Amino acid sequence: MMRRTLSTHVQKRLAVGAVLLAVAASGLLPSPAKSQTVDTDRVLSIGGSVTEIVYALGQGHRLVARDTTSIFPEVANDLPDVGYMRALSAEGVLSVAPELIISEDGAGPPETIEALEAAAIPFIKIPDVYDAEGVIAKVRAVGVGLGAEDAATALADQITADFANAKKQLESVNAPKKVLFILSTQGGRILASGMGTAADGIIEMAGGTNAITAFDGYKLLTDEAIAIAAPDVILMMDRSDDHSVENEALFAMPALVPTPAAQNRAIVRMNGLYLLGFGPRTAQAALDLNAALYGG
């Protein structure tokens, strides 16, 4: 087992090699890069989908901590929580003494990641690509990082079959509904998804079409933009925090009143990690969203 007694130079080589392989698995490199894995039972997982994959690979026993977004499977909640993945502190991460960190891309802030790299802890970043191929690449990259390639191959094969089955079942959609994913309505302003997001990916995967195509990422929408989008259905995460809003209050918002979605009281709420995680359960999430959109 490799412990912290490894030289800084060797540990950095391990981290760099693992990152390159993860990127190669996502299709961003022409061929797989050589990589070494870190044999340790002190793994920190950051990102709900990564944690879910670790457990699906049968490697959950190696985790010493997780981040706030890692809430599935239920047993993950028994692990120490190092904080929200985009607002990590170096002190919080180092307090659990990880010997390997596997993280969804986008963890931060940058100064925390720099501090962790300076501490010479192998840090594997797993790219997020919001389609079936992206999920498979994520599984394989996590498997390589953990030295569990055989388990990753088996899981990838199962997920591939799940996506193929889902695609076959969704072929019957002839008139895609326009779906507006709303992330937040704080302050009476609607923060919604454009293109290139997990929400955009799952909407397409479920046989719908994103009502907002004018920009990438998440932005506050004007009343005019919502009127032009004219969504048939509102999609939101099912949660109970300051960002949530009851259905009737939502449909009473002036920006939404004239939309088909408000007129038909058409709203779908789903668990955020299940809906947007792009992990092992995503094929089934697409089927469930399709059923909610079209009946079935």
Please identify, among 149, 165, 181, the residue that sits at the C-terminal boundary of a domain: 165
Token duo for residue 138: 């994520």
Q: How far apart are CA 121 and CA 223, in angstroms?
A: 47
Domain boundary among 165, 191, 207: 165
Whether 76 and 22 share a structural domain: yes
Closest CA to 156 of 164, 37, 109: 164
In a domain, 72, yes or no: yes
- Structural domain range at position 246: 173-294
- DSSP state, 232? S
Residues 181 and 242 in one domain: yes
- Residue identified by tokens 């120490």 is 80
Task: Give pLDDT tens digits for 241-293.
Answer: 544 578 889 999 999 999 999 999 999 999 999 999 999 999 999 999 999 99
* CATH number of the domain that residue 129 is part of: 3.40.50.1980
Residue 52: inside a domain, yes or no?
yes
Give the tokens for residue 211: 């009502």
Same domain, 74 and 184: no
pLDDT (tens digit per residue) in 184-209: 998 899 999 999 999 999 999 999 99
What pTM was estimated for this model as a whole?
0.85
Q: Are residues 144 and 183 in the same domain?
A: no
The token duo for 141 is: 């990259």
Whether residues 161 and 177 fall in one domain: no
**Structural domain total, the chain:** 2
Q: Are residues 88 and 65 in the same domain?
A: yes
**CA–CA separation, 168 vs 249, rounded Å?**
37
Look at residue 3 and tell me if it is in a domain: no
Cα gap 142→127, rounded to integer Å:
10
Residue 292 CA to residue 160 CA, distance in Å, equals: 23
Same domain, 230 and 86: no
Percentage with pLDDT > 90 across the chain: 78
Domain boundary pick from 165, 181, 205: 165
Please check whether residue 22 is in contact with residue 124, taking contact to mean a CB–CB distance below 8 angstroms.
yes
Average pLDDT, the chain: 87
| 2, part of any domain | no
- Do 21 and 106 share a structural domain? yes
